[in-house]
Amino acid sequence: MSDVVLKNIGKTYLNGFCAIPSMDLTIEEGEFIVLVGPSGCGKSTLLRMVAGLESITQGDLLIKGNKVNEKEPADRDIAMVFQNYALYPHMSVYGNMSYGLKNRGTSKAVIAEKVNAVATMLGLEELLERKPRELSGGQRQRVAMGRAMVRDPKVFLFDEPLSNLDAKLRVQMRMEIRQLQRKLGTTTLYVTHDQVEAMTLADRLVVLNKGVAEQIGTPMDLYNKPATPFVAAFIGSPSMNLFDANLTEKGVSLSESLYLPLPHAHRGSIVWGIRPEHLAIVDEQDADFALEILAVESLGAETLVHGVLKDGSVQGKAMVVRLAGPHNPELNSLLWLSAPATHWHIFDAITQQRL
Ligand code: ATP
């Protein structure tokens, strides 16, 4: 049975603003779903609707086959981990982790057993007597996770749980969350605006744009076959290079002088794209583009070259190239690049759909 089903779910706020027009999503048991999108796209609204913290103004929300639209958060069998962890400052780690169970009238012995088991799993055994202020950011994050886990919920909800941690800890906690979720097999809905976090955590991603799911799929589906230029630009770092172009009988026309031959039935205005990692340095006679180099970012394992194109009417358009390993091209010199057709992405400029 599907675990969580959103059927034509919508949200219009009291002031009349429609944050989610209509959303359909079926989450399978044990699946890790990440909601991702830019600020204000409706991620938190959607998560809070599932949590019961925000009313649902249209459609049905089913958890384990039961409609829960009207149910209180506590009766939905879900546990939420917030961005700010929301720990009780005056309570110990043990107190924070046991609070939910105590409220439900669970016996002391069962609480102790559960809290100790979860604390062991999270490496918190030594910290049970401490107060939240006596913990590091990563430890607090673990306590917030632990508090959700002891309740043994059907569904975990995460609202940007790693955004207060430094970059290194974020990577570590991201791996821990993924491993724990696999081990527990708990269905998870996770919100982030960070596409790398989204890609590394998700079984499936939902890319939201203005409250609408632009695409739902595995990280590799979205990377290899983005459905729209919005998804193409959002997934992948640095972003895909995207250009307005025309598709004619001669191929993709980026300018009057620049044609990339491609047999394709479609004609008319398109958005043409290629990822920075799919451009290759070639000799001048084999090149599709000449890029004037404006900036070079050397990251050791890779080099990012930022420049502007020198061809016809695309002249002056920015392009980014991602090269494996160290490179040291001279600023203001030209880089000759080829864009292999197997890596092109083509979208209808009007419908914004992938062709
Ligand atoms: P962020 O990444 O910045 O947290 P988000 O994707 O989580 O953004 P939401 O917080 O879900 O976005 O907000 C979605 C839209 O709904 C925004 O345009 C926001 O201004 C609007 N919104 C949020 N809460 C309310 C409210 N109580 N009343 C009216 N509009 C609201």
Average of per-residue pLDDT across 278-300: 92
For the record, the structure tokens of 62 come out as 């089913």
CA of 42 to the centre of ligand 1 (A): 6
Per-residue model confidence (pLDDT) at position 250 = 78
pLDDT of 95 above 90: yes
Residues 221 and 228: their CA atoms lie apart, in Å, by 12
Q: Which listed CATH number (2.40.50.1070, 2.40.50.140, 3.30.70.100, 1.10.3720.10) goes with 241-348?
A: 2.40.50.140
Name the band, by pLDDT with cuts 50, 70 and 90, for residue 58. very high
Ligand 1 atom nearest residue 42's Cα:
11
Structural tokens at position 201: 């955590």
- Give, using CA atoms, the residue closest to atom 7 of ligand 1: 44
pLDDT value for 263: 65
pLDDT at residue 299 is higher than 80: yes
Beta strands in 168-250 (DSSP E): 187-192, 204-209, 212-217, 241-248
Q: Confidence band (pLDDT; 50, 70, 90) for 256? A: low
Question: How many contiguous H segments (helices) and E segments (strands) does the chain have?
Answer: 8, 20
Could you give the CA distance from residue 3 to residue 186 in angstroms, rounded to a whole number? 10
Ligand 1 centroid distance, CA of 19 (Å): 7
Work out the angle at residue 275's Cα, subtended by the Cα atoms of residues 274 and 279, and round it to the nearest 5 degrees. Answer: 80
The ipTM (two decimal places) reads: 0.97
Q: Which of 81-85, 185-189, 290-294 has the lowest mean pLDDT?
A: 81-85
The response to whether residue 45 sits with its C-beta less than 6 Å from ligand 1 reads yes
Nearest protein CA to atom 11 of ligand 1, as residue? 42
| Strand ordering across the sheet containing 345-348 | 258-260, 251-255, 241-248, 268-274, 345-348
pLDDT reading at 234 higher than 70: yes
**Per-residue model confidence as pLDDT tens digits over 186-204:** 999 999 989 899 999 999 9
Q: Which helix (H) or strand (E) holds 97?
A: helix 93-103
The span from the CA of 50 to the CA of 44, in Å, is: 10
pLDDT given at position 172: 85
As a whole number of angstroms, the distance between CA 325 and CA 333 comes to 20
Q: What is the pLDDT of residue 259?
A: 67
Domains in the chain: boundaries: 2-234, 241-348
Closest C-alpha to 348, from 258, 295, 273: 273
Q: Which atom of ligand 1 is nearest to the CA of 45?
A: 11
Ligand 1 centre distance from Cα of residue 61 (Å): 20
Which CATH number is correct for 2-234, 3.40.30.10, 3.40.50.300, 3.40.50.10480, 3.90.470.20?
A: 3.40.50.300
Q: Using an 8 Å Cβ cutoff, are 272 and 355 in contact?
A: no
CA angle 164, 167, 171 (to 5 degrees): 100
Task: Tell me the mean pLDDT in the region 139-150.
Answer: 88
| Amino acid letter, residue 267 | R
Q: Would you say residue 164 has pLDDT above 80? A: no
For the beta carbon of residue 319, count every other beta carbon within 10 angstroms.
Answer: 21
Which region among 31-40, 162-171, 196-205, 326-335 has the lowest average model confidence (pLDDT)? 162-171
Share of the chain above pLDDT 70, in %: 96
pLDDT over 90 at 276, yes or no: yes
Is the CB of 41 within 6 Å of ligand 1?
Answer: yes
CA distance 89 to 83: 16
pLDDT in tens, 222-232: 999 999 999 99
The stretch 278-283 carries a mean pLDDT of 94
Which pTM value belongs to this model?
A: 0.89
